[in-house]
Structure 1
Amino acid sequence: MKRLRYFCLLFFVFATCSAEHKPPPSPAVRNYVEEVVRILQANFMNRAAISWVVFKQNLLAKASGAETIEQAYPAVVSAIVTLGDKHSMFAPARLVQESKLPTSKQPPLYPDEPVPGDIGYIRIPWVVGSHEKLDAYIAHVQAQIKERDKPELKGWLVDLRGNAGGNMWPMLVGIGPVLGEDTLGYSVDSNNTKTAWRYEKGKALADGDIEAETANYYTLKSANPVVAVLTDTLTASSGEAVAVAFKARKHTRSFGAGTCGVSTGRSRFYLSDGSIILLTTAVFADRHLVRYGHSIAPDEPLKPAEVVPQAIRWIREEYQAKK
């Protein structure tokens, strides 16, 4: 089966509701429930851990009394939540038509940290939007790297704190000069099929297919630098993908707090009424195929005020050891 594209968007969870002592759902709703269950059973990352007969029975019970598909939406939302992965999401047809996929409140963009002259610094913020917006994001990040790059740098701080997700591919292109050209990690689905992520010459690739790129890519003055990665509890989804891409990289260490815990990839499935299920279909794995899918702990857990000073101290020590 052709490989599905992975979508890593901002994290959101709906409320649940229940239905008791109501007549069975209408035939149209029953058919809709069967459609939903077929998609989940065939594609959900943890599908082997679920009793799908019981799952379907519970979904039909929650849809009791529903005569129209729209009336069954709360039951579908509740069923998605019970999958337990915290990343899957249901978007009703009306919101899809209005191009208003539900997300959490748009997170803030954090300011850059001041650093000494011998330390490079780059923040990788969350990003979603049009092709034009993603291109502008890549250009901005690489322009900042170019502006701050100097031969005398001892290493780089890569700041992922507050990166709540969005689209991982422009993030990987943006930070590509610091990551270096290599296989960066993988998405691994329920069939154990591995999709490799790679950065090379301004391109982010998934099994060789270009997912994002920039023609005017930058190359660091000093290749393979020492890198300190900063994370916090708001580092989520695509932000976690970037954290995974730095795992197992030489001369790299992470500092701060554990990430949000949705280090997984989602695929988009359209339902017959125009609604969408954004379903968790893969788990992130690093370049050594260590799998995550949960909160990613930093190498050095630290209080917020300690993160930048300790990371700078380690960069200088590692730089001297590397020479």
Structure 2
Amino acid sequence: MKKLIEYLLMSCLILISFTACGQKIDAELTLDRIIEHAESNSLYRESVDWNSLKEEMYELTINAKSTLDLKPALDLMLKELNDSHGRIFHNSQYLSCYTGEKKEHRTTMNSETYNQIQSGQVYEFKTLILEDSIGYVRIVGLPMGNNEKMAMEIQDAVCKIIDQGAKKWIIDLRYNGGGNMFPMVEGISNIIGDGIVGGTKGVTEDESSVWKIKDGDFYYDDQTVALENKCGLKKNPKIAVLTSVYTASSGEALAVILKNRPKTRFFGSKTMGMITATDWKQIDSLTAMSISVSYYKDRENNLYNKYVDVDENIDFEPNSDLEKDNGINRAIEWLNKKK
């Protein structure tokens, strides 16, 4: 009986050892795959001494038994890359990110406003017609999902106010915290107009891309949503663009698309500065990563690696009534000038 108990105890110890070993091996494999992807694809990969960084990362995870234990090493990697737009996820939750040093123009940010805009629940997409045939379109951040459906909702609302007589435009990106740029751009592509509207620049030519609008449809290289119903609009209408420090990521991409467009002027403040295109890499069944792979560039090939600036600085008060909104009022004043 004693030998049987000893045998069972030994079996349990062996089983526990194998389980822990298996978990450790899984964690190591996950770390290896994350490093491999970053080393091959990161926009900032050439600024890092990978041999030294990997040594530090492996040292930090020497006792890692699960993916969650990789966080210190992943935090270090994103910090060394200086990738404040990079994210690593586990089980659909943030595992690692790097906020970077606080930029001077972000000192006015209000954390409550930031969280409200990022939530997508407080400030909604809005269109209406203002005085003097001015169409107002507030584009907010959008999630991944049915691009055609989301783009159609924007386009239908835009077409409605075109039918009501909108000829000049305010595109309000102040409440746009980022997300999915395809429906944002496609939804207002008939306002923006056809042609090359920008793109991205990566480390190599193969990692760069072209953004264009053709026959009213937005193309990211060969990717497009391509809606069927379009509404007519006067060519190259006058556009006032509103941005804020809360305008981020794909919201900034849309701002870049409007930069250096004829008859277009920017009002508000510098954008947040998450001005990189990011990829998406599934590492294992529960782990994924998204890192910066290229900078945005506008239709004149100007590169944006800090933020998107404005022509006129206007303070942003997110809860102002439309009639008292300084940004909107200044935009209306400019739109109504004859020149």
Instruction: Tell me how far 1:89 sits from its aligned partner.
Output: 0.5
* Structure with more of its chain in helix, by fraction: 2
Residue 282 of structure 2 corresponds to residue 267 of structure 1: no
Residue 194 of structure 2 corresponds to residue 181 of structure 1: yes
The answer as to whether partners of 2:48 and 2:80 remain within 8 angstroms in 1 is no
Q: Following superposition of structure 1 onto structure 2, how do residues 242-321 of structure 1 map, counting pairs within 5 Å? A: 242-272=254-284, 274-304=286-316, 305-317=325-337, 320-321=338-339
The equivalent of 1:16 in structure 2 is none
Distance 1:189 1:248, change over 3 A: same
Structure 2 counterpart of 1:95, one-letter code: S
CA displacement 1:193-226 (0-9 Å, x = unmatched): 431111123422122x133221112231x11101
Instruction: Tell me how far 1:139 sits from its aligned partner.
Output: 1.6
The equivalent of 2:245 in structure 1 is 233
The equivalent of 2:69 in structure 1 is 71
Which range moved further: 295-304 or 106-115? 106-115
Distance 2:37 2:85 in 1: 16
Instruction: Tell me how far 1:242 sits from its aligned partner.
Output: 0.5
Match of 2:178 among 156, 165, 175: 165
Distance 2:96 2:63 in 1: 26
Counterpart secondary structure, 1:253: strand
Structure 2 counterpart of 1:261, one-letter code: G
Higher relative contact order (CA 8 A, sep 6+): 1
The equivalent of 1:46 in structure 2 is 44
Residue 159 of structure 2 corresponds to residue 146 of structure 1: yes
Residue 211 of structure 2 corresponds to residue 197 of structure 1: yes
Distance 2:138 2:285 in 1: 40
Instruction: Give the alignment's TM-score, normalised by structure 1.
Output: 0.80
Match of 1:95 among 79, 92, 95: 92
Distance 1:85 1:119, change over 3 A: same
The equivalent of 1:8 in structure 2 is none
CA displacement 1:10-29 (0-9 Å, x = unmatched): xxxxxxxxxxxxxxx96654
Distance 1:274 1:111, change over 3 A: closer
The answer as to whether partners of 2:141 and 2:176 remain within 8 angstroms in 1 is yes
Distance 1:270 1:140 in 2: 30
The equivalent of 2:10 in structure 1 is none
Structure 2 counterpart of 1:127, one-letter code: L
Which range moved further: 61-70 or 276-285? 61-70
Distance 1:118 1:68, change over 3 A: closer
How many pairs align?
Answer: 287
Tell me how large the CA RMSD over aligned residues is: 2.7
Distance 1:287 1:72 in 2: 41
Distance 1:61 1:110, change over 3 A: same
Counterpart secondary structure, 1:228: strand
Distance 1:158 1:59 in 2: 45
Distance 1:225 1:109 in 2: 26
Q: What is the percent sequence identity of the aligned residues?
A: 25
The equivalent of 1:130 in structure 2 is 145
Distance 1:234 1:52, change over 3 A: same
Counterpart secondary structure, 2:130: coil
The answer as to whether partners of 1:202 and 1:215 remain within 8 angstroms in 2 is no
Distance 1:129 1:186, change over 3 A: closer
Determine which structure has more spread, i.e. the larger CA radius of gyration: 2
Which range moved further: 240-249 or 81-90? 81-90
Instruction: Tell me how far 1:314 sits from its aligned partner.
Output: 1.1
Distance 1:158 1:36, change over 3 A: same
Counterpart secondary structure, 1:149: helix
Unpaired segments ≥5 residues, structure 2 = 1-22, 98-114, 317-324
Counterpart secondary structure, 2:175: coil
CA displacement 1:28-70 (0-9 Å, x = unmatched): 5444433322211110011111111222122123213213444
Structure 2 counterpart of 1:168, one-letter code: M
Instruction: Give the alignment's TM-score, normalised by structure 2.
Output: 0.77
Counterpart secondary structure, 1:230: strand
Distance 1:64 1:35 in 2: 16
Distance 2:304 2:56 in 1: 30
Which range moved further: 49-58 or 178-187? 49-58
Distance 2:96 2:226 in 1: 27
Structure 2 counterpart of 1:228, one-letter code: A
The equivalent of 1:4 in structure 2 is none
Distance 1:144 1:272 in 2: 40
Unpaired segments ≥5 residues, structure 1 = 1-24
Counterpart secondary structure, 2:152: helix
